[in-house]
A = this chain, B = another copy of it.
Amino acid sequence: MTKITFSSILESLPDTVPFVAPEELERNRQQKFISRIGANESAFGISARAAEAIKNAVGVSGCSWYGDPLSYDIKTLLCEQLGLRREEICVDAGIDTLLGLTVRMLMNPGDVMVTSNGAYPTVNYHVKGVGGIIHGVPYNDNHEDPVALAEAAHEHHAKLVYLANPDNPMGTRIGVEEILTLIDNLPGNCVLMLDEAYFEFMPEEFAPKINTAMANVIRFRTFSKAYGMAGMRIGYAFGNESLMKGYDKIRNHFGVNKLAQIAAAASLQDEKILPTVRDSVAAGRAKIYTLADELGLPYLESFTNFVAVDLASSERAIKMLSLLDEHGIFMRKPMQAPLDRYLRVGVGTAEEHDFFSSKFPDLLQQL
């Protein structure tokens, strides 16, 4: 008689509703969105060199051959650009994959991760997936709070602390010194997962001077955001070699898409892509600021490719998402109080922004 049981951890997990994808919303509304400005995807596409490299590689060597499990070419470029050694970098299929591996690498069931209430939910999903426990601390005035994170890490004997800088979903950043102080103040067996998915959008002077001699920090970067490759699934972690060597014991060695590898290497050699995208994103943010000012809505200064705009209550923000959906605009918002009164307005193309700004003032009146 067949009666299959799942693993104890899996049995304990709820049926999750992760982010509902815009494609699923489109199937429900039976129409495509006109502005897709809700998932922090880049509206400005990929590097021209990357696009050319992908097109040239379509065929046996780019599609039928497995990717290089060492991501050798990408690591060579990252070593040059970041002053790292090969052994200090792990390239894998995006930050989500790397967060999942990090949690498996460091946590036993029952171990604690400290994060901020309302911060990136996917890391929580991975922690629960290994039987870990999550303790959240509140945001402090819409910023993640490194002091509270360090305190909670001690109080709960945390194995991991998660911090995104710049932050998603609020778009804010943490001071350079505050991050270094957090690292200094962590418990002895605790690792900071520093998610820098939006790093490239932040002026360079705000980058903390963390070096890989610090054995309790792993930084995560991605080609998804500024490089416009969210759909390609490639990112990297870097840190002290003593930590990084753990990934090789559990990662999927042949798991990175080869066209993504080719595109990432081409992007790192394209000097135009980052300045161009940064300018476009800055211009887009400025337009969102102006619109919010015109409408008398408070907003947060953003160091990312989206702007958190204050709609004064969660109810109004939820209603607005639904109105926007009706009118062909895909948007998301923070899910947890007190962040949940904000709308997370993505920087879109000029057309996407114009369409949004043509609808938004009227929809505000309907709240």
Contact = CB atoms under 8 A, between A and B. Distances in A.
Contacts of A233: 67, 93, 233, 255-257
B232 A3 contact: no
Contact of A69 (B18, B50, B242, B255): B18
Contacts of A255: 93-94, 96-97, 233
Contact of A23 (B5, B64, B70): B70
A231 B258 contact: yes
A233 B257 CA distance: 6
Contacts of A18: 69, 253-254
**Which label, helix, strand, loop or mixed, suits the secondary structure of the A interface?**
loop
A63 B191 CA distance: 32
A119 interface: no
A305 to B, nearest CB: 11
A231 B258 CA distance: 5
A297 interface: no
B39 A59 contact: no
Given A2-B215, A54-B58, A64 B43 contact: yes
Interface string A1-43: 1111111111001111011011110010000000010010111
A350 B51 CA distance: 30
B63 A188 contact: no
Interface size grouping (class) on chain A: 35 or more
Given A13-B250, A255-B97, A255-B233, A70 B24 contact: yes
B188 A2 contact: yes
A19 B255 CA distance: 13
B263 A63 contact: yes
B46 A63 contact: yes
Contacts of A42: 60, 64
A4 B242 contact: yes
A338 interface: no
A93 B93 contact: yes
Contacts of A4: 106, 189, 191, 215-216, 242-243
A259 interface: yes
8 contacts: A3-B188, A4-B215, A19-B253, A41-B64, A43-B60, A63-B229, A66-B230, A257-B257
